[in-house]
Amino acid sequence: MKNYLHISDLNNLHEVVKGAIELKKSPLEYQKLGKGKTICLLFFNNSLRTRLSTQKAAQNLGMNTIVMNFGSEGWQLEFEDGLVMNQNKSEHVIEAAKVVSQYCDIVAIRAFAGLKDKVQDESEIILNNFIKHATVPVINMESSIGHPLQALADAITLEEHKVLHKPKIVLSWAPHPKALPHAVVNSFIELMQFQNAEFVITHPVGYELDPKIVKNYKVEYNQEKAFENADFVYIKNWSSYNDYGKVIPQDKNWMITSDLMKFTNNGKFMHCLPVRRNVVVTDDVIDSESSLVIEQANNRTYSAQIVLKKILENIE
Ligand code: AN0
Ligand code: CP
């Protein structure tokens, strides 16, 4: 594998998930693979899990990591071509990507959707410019439209908790005071093409997702009905896609409570984190035995590690 930008970059998801579960048993087995290699993590947005788990994954493979936070440390980068750069942007991505490529063997980028301009977000201007100008492989650590390292961690978690029957998996919107991106849910929906599951999406009217991603999956506007007999409920807030980036008056009734979980088949609660307690989900649900959130976060290490392993094997 050269770059990891979408979940579909993995040739055989089931093999990759199995490989990640093997790595989890002996994480230091491939220390030699990354020896003398460096990954550079570039953040245009905040992070806890992605930053630390990717760094941990690299360390498990014997790699070095260098990190840069553009919000507080780096020069403001320009991504548009052909401009007279006489405003506040100090450096163009053309030079920045080439320079960074000289310091590392893999570059990983986090650049969220701005949620102001759909066309600009969908052009993935930051990620695509790094792909264009960098001379090393690129990993997506959450771009405008996808979070494939999270989706792979979720696939590992689903596999570890698989049920004997064909599972019912529900993706549910939940309330949040701030406008959040669609990347996590887009990648989770993309993951569903590789799962043998009944998949249902539920959200209030007005929160319809990109139809190019939702395709023919079932959308159920009644949350309780959607939760009926679910084996896994994957919870995430997102802002409106049609009224792009807007928070429409919040429906607080969509918060995940133990009463709602009673509709499920003893279902597992999943969330990528960070999560706002008692806004998105009540304490008793996230603290219950059904909650997989800490395991999901743990699997971020093995998701990143299997991706790094595949890329390193390709550049050796
Ligand atoms: C981000 C999002 O919703 O995309 C990151 C999630 C992994 N969440 C927040 O900004 C709270
Ligand atoms: N789930 C996830 O990507 O978390 P961070 O934003 O903390 O990296």
Closest atom of ligand 2 relative to the 147 alpha carbon: 3
Full DSSP string of 238-274: ---TTTTT---S--GGGSB-HHHHTTSSSPEEE--S-
Closest atom of ligand 2 relative to the 45 alpha carbon: 6
Bridge partners (DSSP) listed for residue 107: 40, 138
- Going from the Cα of 183 to the center of ligand 2, the distance in angstroms, rounded, reads 11
Report the C-alpha gap between 292 and 271 in whole angstroms: 8
Q: Is the dihedral of CA 111, 113, 119, 120 positive or negative?
A: negative
- The model's pLDDT over 123-143, given as tens digits with 9 standing for 90+, comes to 999 999 999 999 999 999 999
Pick the residue whose CA is nearest to atom 10 on ligand 1: 180
- The model's pLDDT over 77-122, given as tens digits with 9 standing for 90+, comes to 999 999 999 999 999 999 999 999 999 999 999 999 999 999 999 9
For residue 130, which amino acid is it? Answer: F
Is there a contact between 153 and 292 (Cβ–Cβ < 8 Å)?
no
Question: Residue 105's closest CA among 77, 64, 68, 44?
Answer: 64
Average pLDDT in the chain: 97
- The model's pLDDT over 143-196, given as tens digits with 9 standing for 90+, comes to 999 999 999 999 999 999 999 999 999 999 999 999 999 999 999 999 999 999
Q: How confident is the model at residue 316 (pLDDT cuts 50, 70, 90)?
A: low
Cis peptide before 27 (omega within 30 of 0): no
Question: Residue 142's closest CA among 184, 195, 193, 199?
Answer: 184
What end-to-end distance do the CA atoms of the chain give, in Å? 12
Secondary structure tally for the chain: helices H, strands E: 12, 11
Give the chain's radius of gyration (CA, Å): 20
Go through the domains of the chain in sequence order and give each one's CATH number: 7-147+300-312 (3.40.50.1370), 162-291 (3.40.50.1370)
Pick the residue whose CA is nearest to atom 4 on ligand 1: 181
Report the C-alpha gap between 13 and 10 in whole angstroms: 6
Is any atom of ligand 1 closer than 6 Å to the C-beta of 148? no
Read off the pTM.
0.98
Q: Read off φ and ψ for residue 33, nearest 5 degrees.
A: -60, -40
